[in-house]
Amino acid sequence: MRKNKWLSYIILCLLLINIIAPIPVTHAASLDTMVNTLAANTLETSTAQTGNGLFQQLFDLVFNKILGPVFNIFSGNSTSSPSTNNPVTVKPIPPTNNNTTLKNRVIVVDPGHGGSNPGAVANNTRESDNNLAVALKLRDKLVQAGAKVLMTRNSDQTVAPEGSSLSKELEDRVTLANSNQADIFISIHSNSNSDANIQGAMTFYPTGKSSALASAVEKAMIIQTGAIDKGTSPATFHVLRNTSMPSTLVEMGFVSNKEEAAQLNSDSYRNKLAQGIFTGIVNYFNNN
C-alpha cells in the first residue's frame, strides 16, 4: 500500500517536471503566461494519454481539482459578462400618444337636413343620407381623439319636432351649439347644381368672420379625397350667421354630378371625407 502511494508521488512529480520544463525562463514570464502555458501543455498531454486510466486520474486531480480552481483555467463558463451569442433583448416601450389637441374640446357636428327634409336628391343618392353617414364617422374620430362631440341628429330625423318650420329647424341646431358653449361648429352638406358637369368640394365661413376653420378643413379634405378644390367662400347661412363660435359649412360634393354622387354613396369615400374634415379640425386647433 505504502509502495503504491510513493509510486504515485513519483509519477506525479515526473509529470509536473515534464509539463513545466518546456516553459521558457530566459524571460521574466508573468504568472498569466505560465498559467496559459500549463493549460496548453496539459490539454495536449491529456489528449495523447486518454487511454491511460492512472494518468487520467492524475490529470483530473492536479488540474481540475487543484490548479483549475486556483488559476481559473479550463472553465468553459464565465459569469463576468453576458454571452455575446445570447444578447439581452430589451423590448422597447410603445410610444405614448401625446397629441391632446382635441382633448375636452366641445365640437358640434351638424349633419344637414334629415327626416322629411332629405335635401338634394339625384343619381340615386340623398343628401341627408350622405351627410349623416360622414358625420357619424367624423364623430367617432373626434371622440377617439378626446373631444366632446354633440350631434344635432344621430339618425334620419329632423332636429326640431316633425312639422316645424325651416327657421325653427335651423334655430334648434344653432341653440344646441350656443347653449353648450361649443368650441367649433361643423355643418356637413352635399351640393347640387343644374349643370351636371360641375363637381368639387367647397367650404363656407360666416361673412365678416374668420375663415381659418373653413380653410383648414377645405385643404385637408382635398388632400385626403383628391376632389376638385372649389375653395372657401363667405356666406350668410343661418347656422353660420347665428352661431357664436368659429363655424364652417362643408359641401362635400355634388349629388347632381353622376361621378361624385357615386363617390358620396361609397363607404370608402365617406371615410376619406371624414378623415379629411377631422384632419382639418386638428390642424385648425394646432394653429389657432
d(CA 74, CA 70): 11
The whole-angstrom separation of Cα 216 and Cα 149 is 19
Do 153 and 66 sit in the same domain of this protein? no
Residue 250 maps to a domain: yes
Q: Distance between CA atoms of 167 and 119, rounded to whole angstroms?
A: 15
Q: Tell whether 134 and 223 lie within a shared domain.
A: yes
Q: What is the mean pLDDT of residues 27-36?
A: 43
Q: Are residues 152 and 222 in the same domain?
A: yes
Same domain, 65 and 191: no
Which has the minimum average pLDDT: 22-26, 188-192, 206-210, 243-247?
22-26
Among residues 71, 97, 117, the one where a domain terminates is: 71
- Please give the share of the chain, as a percent, with pLDDT higher than 70: 66
Q: Mean pLDDT across the stretch 20-44?
A: 44
Do 113 and 51 reside in the same domain of the chain? no
Domain-located, residue 80: no
Domain closes at, from 71, 96, 127: 71
CA-to-CA distance for 77 and 72, rounded, in angstroms?
A: 10
223-239 pLDDT, tens digit each: 999 999 999 999 999 99
81 within some domain: no
Any domain includes 91? no
Cα–Cα–Cα angle for 36, 55, 64, rounded to 5 degrees: 45
Instruction: Evaluate if residue 58 carries a pLDDT over 90.
Output: no
In the structure grid, which three cell numbers stand for residue 195, read together? 349643370
Positions marked catalytic:
251
Q: What is the pLDDT of residues 68-83, one digit of tens each?
A: 444 444 444 444 444 4
Q: What is the mean pLDDT of residues 247-260?
A: 98
Domain shared by 60 and 157, yes or no: no
Q: Are residues 157 and 271 in the same domain?
A: yes
Radius of gyration of the chain measured on its C-alpha atoms? 42
- Same domain? For 140 and 196 the reply is yes
208 inside domain: yes
Same domain, 59 and 180: no
25 within a domain of the structure (yes/no): yes
Q: Residue 42 — pLDDT band, cuts 50, 70, 90? A: very low
Give the pLDDT confidence score for residue 138 in this predicted structure: 98
* pLDDT for the residue 33: 45
Which pLDDT tens digit goes with each residue over 164-202?
Answer: 999 999 999 999 999 999 999 999 999 999 999 999 999
Average pLDDT, the chain: 80
Answer yes or no: do 191 and 238 share one domain: yes
The DSSP line for 201-269 is EEEEEETTS--HHHHHHHHHHHHHH---EEEEEEE--HHHHS-SS-EEEEEEEETTSHHHHHHHT-HHH
Residue 86 in any domain: the answer is no
Write down the pLDDT at residue 100: 83
The CATH number covering residue 160 comes to 3.40.630.40
pLDDT tens by residue, 92-109: 444 434 468 999 999 999
Q: Which domain holds residue 20?
A: 2-71
Instruction: Using the predicted structure, report yes or no on whether residue 38 has a pLDDT greater than 60.
Output: no
Predicted pLDDT at 79: 42
Residues 189 and 255 in one domain: yes
